[in-house]
Amino acid sequence: MNLLTLSFAVLLILEPGIVVPDDLENTFQNLKEAEARKDAAQVAKLAVKTCALARQVMSEPAPESADEKDAWSTHVAYAREIEAYTEYALANTALQATPADTVVLLTTLEQQNPKSKYLDEAYGRYFVALNQAGAASKIPAVAEKALTHFPDNEDLLLVLADESMTRQQSDRALTHSERLITVLNRHPKPENISAADWQRKRSAMLGRAHWIAGLVHSEKSQYYEADKDLRAALPLIQGNDAMLAPALYYLGVANYQLGKTIINKAQVLEAAKFSQQAAAIKSPFSQQAWHNAMVMKDEAAKMR
């Protein structure tokens, strides 16, 4: 069962003696019914209304009488649970909605509480829905804003690393990709995903992050770092020639430069091997990679 589905399984039981305004209780009950029916339009509408009413109750000043304060505290705590439920209802309904409805529901949740714990779990689905709804151009801005609240969210970091790479913003791309590597190496498997699915997602993200970092290090002539990142990416990007060709090409360049510096014939020959592999893949790098391989072999032949 999805983690979001479990979140409010045993909460929101009205205790005897707690009095809440009829409009809040009625709207809350309507929201629960809409959420149970998976009625996305009604959930979006009622969540906003219920949240506003709950916050109105929560903003009531504490009574001066000690006898009344306990009842007031319980009253406010119940309203706070209702407010939290509105976030759950938006997120849980979004997981089962059409792409267009998912965008509306999660946009509503962002407006209601941009720090909601449910958003941290939902951004991957949010981005897929935006793409499917024809609104992919909005994804980078959504990710940029969300990263302020969720700096360790892997979905946000991957979007921003890719966007920075596309825009040739090398320093930003490197910052986000290295942060993503750190996060993925530290995070345990989320509860709401199977071990196999998490491993696939983690491997794909790690491959992309190491690849981006490796290309940026290559661009900066940081050959030791480039070699380390691209070697880490290599087993994770097999079958993706669009990523594999440049990875092999720049691995050839990095190892050639490193091998020449320390007069390491084996490393220069390995650079030639990487270059030959890059040349064998049809890509913009193939011709130059073939030329590089010839030069590297000639250089290695002069070494002892």
Task: Give the chain's domain count.
Answer: 2
For residue 190, name the pLDDT band (cuts at 50, 70, 90): confident
pLDDT of residue 22: 72
pLDDT in tens, 100-141: 999 999 999 999 999 999 999 899 999 999 999 999 999 999
User: What is the rounded distance in angstroms from the CA atom of residue 261 to the CA atom of residue 255?
Assistant: 10
Residue 100 lies in a domain: yes
Residue 105 lies in a domain: yes
Q: Which of 79, 77, 156, 163 is nearest to 119 (CA)?
A: 156
Which of 79, 98, 122 represents a domain boundary (last residue)?
Answer: 122
Please work out, in degrees rounded to the nearest 5, the angle formed at the alpha carbon of residue 137 by the alpha carbons of 135 and 143: 100
Range of the domain at 107: 1-61+70-122
User: What is the rounded distance in angstroms from the CA atom of residue 61 to the CA atom of residue 64?
Assistant: 9
pLDDT of residue 107: 97
Residue 304 lies in a domain: yes
Residue 266 lies in a domain: yes
pLDDT in tens, 40-49: 999 999 999 9
pLDDT in tens, 253-283: 999 999 999 999 999 999 999 999 999 999 9
The three-state secondary structure class of 235 is: helix
What pTM was computed for the model?
0.88
Which of 122, 144, 165 represents a domain boundary (last residue)?
Answer: 122
Residue 191 lies in a domain: no
Percent of the chain surpassing pLDDT 90: 81
